[in-house]
Amino acid sequence: MAIRRDKLDKLRSLGVEPFGQAYQRSHSAREVVEGFSSLEGKSVSLAGRLNAIRSHGKAAFADLQDQSGRVQIYVKKDIVGDAAFEIFEILDLGDIVGVRGLVFKTKRGEISVQVEQLTLLTKALRPMPEKWHGLKDVELRYRQRYVDLIANPEVRETFIIRTKVVRAIRNYLDGQGFYEVETPVLAAIAGGTTARPFKTHHNALDLPLFMRIATELYLKRLIVGGFEKVYELGRVFRNEGISTKHNPEFTLLELYEAYSDYEGIMTLTENLISHVAQEVLGTQHVIYQGHEVDFTPPWPRARMLDLVKEHAGVDFSLVNSDEEARAMARQAGLTLAPKATFGQALDEVFSEFVEPKLTGPMFVLDYPVEISPLAKRRSDNPRLTYRFEAFLAGRELANAFSELNDPIDQRGRFEQQMEERARGNDEAHEMDEDFLLALEYGMPPTGGLGIGIDRLCMVFAGVDSIRDIILFPLMRPRHD
């Protein structure tokens, strides 16, 4: 640091401003390398960070890194002149420069730019991480992602994949006639799923507010209002623990299609993901965590009850009461809370014995009503709903249902959730009178879908931790 600060003064005394102005570039590093056959002998201008310097006395090679990649530059005293070469010798790894010069190939065959004019654009006051091993310290990689991006080029590729996934989703949905909308992040009630919200406060209205945990209830209001295909691709916030699969804020896609149902949404889901795979990876096949994944539709479908019967050896379709359900869970080897319902018992057994085995992609159908308070009941079995989840690599990828549009049933479900809450489950839904009011105006039969974008991107990028697909994951602030 101190040495680099001294260099600032030295540069200024030589008439060089270490924090320069805009620089006109003619090419990117990649363009120079890939377009060599037509660029050889021609003059190009590039800008980027000095990644490596191999000095040879009165000449030097260096690697110039820009967003597209790296290209070697060759700085020769004879050509740039004594003054410029003196300045070049002061430069450090990490400094950002602009160069203009001729494209050529070295004896060893490396495409390079013979520098005629060198411009310092930004002096780096901090040293870069080690060139060979990169930055490995995960704490520093997350806290100082910019250094991670400089030192580990594959990290940029990971995040470019994320960008492409999001773009491909928008392209597909827009092409299907969906409208992208924006609904409130701050609301008096955080609804749409079961999770603890972040609480905040609006000063002028002296109003307690919550940050959204889902976009569901607002998007359904839009269906009531006559929008027929809407989606929101937005950040939601859940005040819960942090793990390789959980970050307190994450990106959720929710979409709603009027006059559709969960069957229609299943088809849409597999087509959407398949489209994204083709757009982003150019293939339907990926290997994730050692499993071969094939996104080609249609995906296998199985009823939750059947999967539980198959993998846990217990048949919940024979159960007639919550008590019998708890007994069946015990038979499968689980101990549950004494008040656990049929739905909770089934879900726990499913999570424990089935979920980890679902490499997928596949659909699991017909979730119990108690854990699906916003989903429509099956007409042939009121304990179950028209709800499915998509699974991939043992993890929930998507959650969808035929939306409950009966305001009276919906009120009953909310009341059931209130009882849950009274029993101490502070993740249960709150009564949302305003949403019920909307439903009373009439919501057409509708299918809805939610997809966790971070987890989806993890599969496409081949990373195992959600923190590796979030640019700036939440960290405890450093205090030193």
Partner RNA sequence: GGGCCAUUAGCUCAGUGGUAGAGCAUCCGCCUUUUAAGCGGAGAGUCGAUGGUUCGAAUCCAUCAUGGCCCA
Residue with tokens 């699991």: 364
Q: Three-class SS of residue 268?
A: helix
Q: Does 136 bind RNA (CB under 7 A)?
A: yes
Binding RNA (rule: CB under 7 A), the pick from 132, 203, 320, 426 is 132
Cis peptide before 361 (omega within 30 of 0): yes
CB-nearer residue toward RNA: 103 or 169: 103
Q: Which of residues 293-312 bind RNA (CB under 7 A)?
A: none
Any alpha helices (H) in 91-178, and if so which ranges?
138-143, 145-151, 153-175
Binding RNA (rule: CB under 7 A), the pick from 26, 83, 127, 415 is 127
Residues 6 or more apart from 106 whose CB is under 8 A from it?
72, 74, 112
Q: Does 292 bind RNA (CB under 7 A)?
A: no
Q: Does 134 bind RNA (CB under 7 A)?
A: yes
Q: Does 77 bind RNA (CB under 7 A)?
A: yes
Smallest distance from the beta carbon of 290 to RNA, in angstroms? Answer: 13
**Residues 441-470: x/- map of binding to RNA (CB under 7 A)?**
------------------------x-x---
Q: For the chain, what is the radius of gyration of the CA atoms?
A: 29
Residue 238 dihedral angles phi and psi, to the nearest 5°: -130, 125
Kindly report the CA angle at 205 between 190 and 438, in degrees rounded to 5? 45
CB-nearer residue toward RNA: 136 or 202: 136
Beta-bridge mates of residue 174: none
CB-nearer residue toward RNA: 181 or 242: 242
**Residues 81-100: x/- map of binding to RNA (CB under 7 A)?**
-----------xx-------
Q: Is 28:21 a contact under the CB 8 Å cutoff? A: no
Q: Does 138 bind RNA (CB under 7 A)?
A: yes
Q: Is 168:177 a contact under the CB 8 Å cutoff? A: no
Binding RNA (rule: CB under 7 A), the pick from 5, 12, 42, 131 is 131
Q: Which of residues 224-283 bind RNA (CB under 7 A)?
A: 241-244
Cα four-point dihedral sign 470, 475, 479, 480: negative
- Other Cβ atoms closer than 10 A to 351: 12
Smallest distance from the beta carbon of 473 to RNA, in angstroms? Answer: 7
Q: Does 52 bind RNA (CB under 7 A)?
A: yes
Q: Does 112 bind RNA (CB under 7 A)?
A: yes
Q: What is the DSSP string of 39-98?
A: HBT-EEEEEEEEEEEEE-SSEEEEEEEETTEEEEEEEEHHHH-HHHHHHHHH--TT-EEE
Binding RNA (rule: CB under 7 A), the pick from 21, 139, 203, 292 is 139
Smallest distance from the beta carbon of 307 to RNA, in angstroms? Answer: 19
Q: Give the interface segment with RNA, choosing from 56-64, 268-276, 293-301, 364-372 (CB under 7 A).
A: 56-64
Q: Does 130 bind RNA (CB under 7 A)?
A: yes
CB-nearer residue toward RNA: 177 or 241: 241
Q: What is the DSSP string of 321-361?
A: SHHHHHHHHHHHT----TT--HHHHHHHHIIIIIGGG--SS
Residues 6 or more apart from 12 whose CB is under 8 A from it?
18
Q: Does 146 bind RNA (CB under 7 A)?
A: no
Q: Which residues bind RNA (CB under 7 A)?
A: 3, 7, 52-59, 61, 72, 74, 76-78, 92-93, 104, 106-110, 112, 114, 126-140, 142, 241-244, 465, 467, 473, 475-476, 478
